[in-house]
A and B are shown apart, each in its own frame.
Chain A
Amino acid sequence: MNKLLFVSLLAVCACQKKTEPPPAPPKVPEVNKISVAQMPAGHPSLPSLTVQSRGPRRLSVDQLEKALDQIGNVPAGTVVLPPDMAFTLGRPDYKRVTQEQLEPSPLFMKFMVDLGGAFCTNIAMAEAGRPTDQKVFTRYGTVDENLSYMLLRFTGIDGDDAAPYLPRLKSAYDTGAQNATLTLGGYQAVCMSLFTSPEFLLY
């Protein structure tokens, strides 16, 4: 009985604290919000279907392929992973595996490093032959502008939210650029850094 009384007192004490204004939440992009898809013209809006939040997810293989098309500025459907590789990354074969595996596992991350290496090298090789408005690494005149553009292209992060990332990307650029044999080594380093970042791989 004494034990129960003690617990009750503790619980009452815990509940009687004066209300204090909660600390201001850190400013982070509202990445978990999803808006309702656009309805056809004349259709009433359905705000009750708005999903305010959901758990973050890893890119699926399909999403990854489409994202790489977009980032690489190549026609949709250009990037297609071989079936074996796609299976490794989690795409079900509907024979042995019927659900897509979306864990950011060590195997997935190891393969993303490999894939990033190939993808970023290919972009670097194609860069010189592309018109300015189709370049991925060197679309703008300064390195800072190009890094901002790459960050936006990979992750959708722009404006004030991008500011903390830019010094780190510049550092990666400077390290990568130390290899004189690679014309775009600095940009390749930034490309691979973003390729394996949670900001790109999760959503």
Chain B
Amino acid sequence: MNCKHCMTGKFGRRSLLKAMSAATGGLLLADLFPRTAFAGTLDKHRKFVFAYFDGGWDILLGLDPRDPVGNNPATSQIDPGYDQLGYGASTGVQSAAGLKFGPAVPASFLQVAGECSIINGVGMDTAAHEVGRRYFLTGQFPRGLDAVGSSVGAYAVSQMGEGSQIPFIAAGTEAYNDGLPAFASALTVNTLNDMAIALNPLVPVDPKVQEAMQKFQDGGPGCAGWALNRDGLVAKLEDSIARSRGYVTAMLGSNFDLTRSDAEMQALIGLYDIGAAYGDLGSPEVLSFLAGQSLKKGISQCVSVRMANSLDTHSNWAQDQLPAQQRGWKALAALLTDLKNTPGAMPNTSMLDETTVIAFSEFGRTPLFNSIRGRDHFLGNSALIAGAGVKHGMTVGKSADVGMMPVYCDPLTGQGFDAPPQAQIDSGAVTMLSPQHVLATVLASAGIDYSYLRVDPIKALLP
């Protein structure tokens, strides 16, 4: 019944000649491009967290602070604005484990700062939310607003192989799979409630009715269905049916049941401060909990999670940016602490030793205020990398002393240069950091081939 003839194609002399032409041409053209050397041992047990701060974070309050003492905004074109912050903010720059943080980073995060490194001076080349977000998720600059390629999480999972029930979960974030195996497609959930829906049967269905439906589904679509399979949409739907059945039969739902009264769940509720979510099951606290459980229980190998939201503070910066960012860092701190407190597969290791965590936002915010005391979108950005496979306590890259635009960085040492010699620029010894560099570093940390990103990782961060 399957409309097989809709999909089959002939492979004849013409096709062979075309393929040979393309292959030979490819070999010739390959010489025109410099090759990215890749040599690494794939860590098949590595796990990943992509922690997304939604809306464009103010890096002055987080990863790239400036000391307000002696600063003159008129000449530096940077106004930290720390004096405008009210409740809960420290007076300015904080230090922990050799790293500097802005006032939005709470004490709970400073306690795990020793597991982290900071990447400053990341150029985004965009000030559009969708573009910046998708750029950092895929490592490839979007085409218009449309994402290009797959999420790096999906790519990483595809390289490591299917080692868990739901290899890739996207909690509150977008996820893309362009041509990768179906198991690398994310289970996309917006809230913890979605997770419960995905993992638990909600409506009892008569076994015979269920059997009949599954038999019909297993037969695949008919011709009219296959005619809709442009862009692989029908194939995705078919795969989704099969996967959703697997979720239910694996009975994973109790891992995410916040109503459980046992000591383990109650401790997690305290650690992640679930009470601060006030019942919002899509809040940073709850989604961070979801990420932690997914990794710790072996349900997932990679989680992309929205760790903060409401950061797009074009106005009311002093009132809104600080608490929103603080909440994100606090949720991330809980996740890092949870992973650190959970034993890893090897003796004397923790789950954090098996997990690489990257925190990012779509872009930064302008270092000067606009006319309504807010900060607008800014091309410069920062990222935080933590956990397995990377050095800790390092700050690599730099934003300019005047205006905070990203400046050149030597990826071997991580040192930033406001005005490097032209010869260094020409030779490629220094480069402008981009999301590709950050993501290549994440992949390289696990021995995953990053060459498709067409840049080298920041080797200063790799052991």
Interface on A for B, CB 8 Å cutoff?
A: 3-4, 6-7, 10-11, 13-14, 17, 26-29, 31-32, 55-58, 84, 87-88, 96-97, 101, 103-111, 113-118, 120-121, 155, 157, 161, 164-165, 167-169, 171-179, 181-182, 185-186, 188-190, 192-193, 196-199, 201-203
Contact = CB atoms under 8 A, between A and B. Distances in A.
11 contacts: A14-B18, A28-B3, A31-B228, A84-B193, A97-B190, A110-B247, A176-B208, A176-B212, A186-B212, A197-B225, A198-B238
A108 to B, nearest CB: 7
Interface stretch (B116-124, B152-160, B198-206, B442-450): B198-206
Contacts of B237: 58, 104, 109, 198, 201-202
Counting chain B residues whose Cβ lies within 8 A of the other chain, the interface size class is 35 or more
A84 B187 CA distance: 17
Contacts of B18: 14
A168 B219 CA distance: 8
Given A104-B237, A107-B198, A168 B1 contact: yes
B310 to A, nearest CB: 9
Contacts of B204: 117
Contacts of B234: 56, 198, 202
A155 B17 contact: no
A29 B309 CA distance: 45
Contacts of A113: 205, 213, 241, 244
Given A88-B194, A106-B243, A202-B234, A14 B223 contact: no
Contact of A14 (B14, B208, B248): B14
A118 B207 CA distance: 14
A172 B215 contact: yes
A65 B206 CA distance: 24
Contacts of A165: 222
Interface string B316-344: 00000000000000000000000000000
Interface stretch (B21-29, B42-50, B357-365): B21-29
Contacts of A169: 216
B191 interface: yes
B230 interface: yes
Question: Which of A3, A173, A197 has the most C-beta atoms of chain B within 10 angstroms of its own C-beta?
Answer: A197
A109 B240 contact: yes
B143 interface: no
A29 B227 contact: yes
Contacts of A171: 212, 215-216
A192 B3 contact: no
Contact of A173 (B186, B206, B212, B247): B212
- Chain B contact residues: helix, strand, loop or mixed: helix
B198 to A, nearest CB: 5
Contacts of A174: 212
B13 A172 contact: no
Contacts of B191: 84, 87-88
B304 interface: no
Contact of A7 (B21, B194, B213, B230): B21
Contacts of B27: 3
A4 B228 contact: no
Contacts of B203: 114-115, 117-118, 121
B28 A55 contact: no
B217 A196 contact: yes
Contacts of A14: 14, 17-18, 21
B202 A114 contact: yes
Contacts of B260: none
Given A29-B223, A199-B224, 20 more contacts: A7-B24, A14-B18, A17-B13, A31-B227, A55-B231, A104-B237, A107-B188, A107-B189, A107-B194, A107-B197, A110-B198, A110-B248, A117-B204, A168-B1, A168-B222, A172-B215, A179-B207, A179-B208, A193-B212, A196-B217
B5 to A, nearest CB: 5
Given A107-B194, A110-B197, A114-B202, A26 B223 contact: yes
A198 B234 CA distance: 6
Contact of B213 (A13, A57, A178, A189): A189
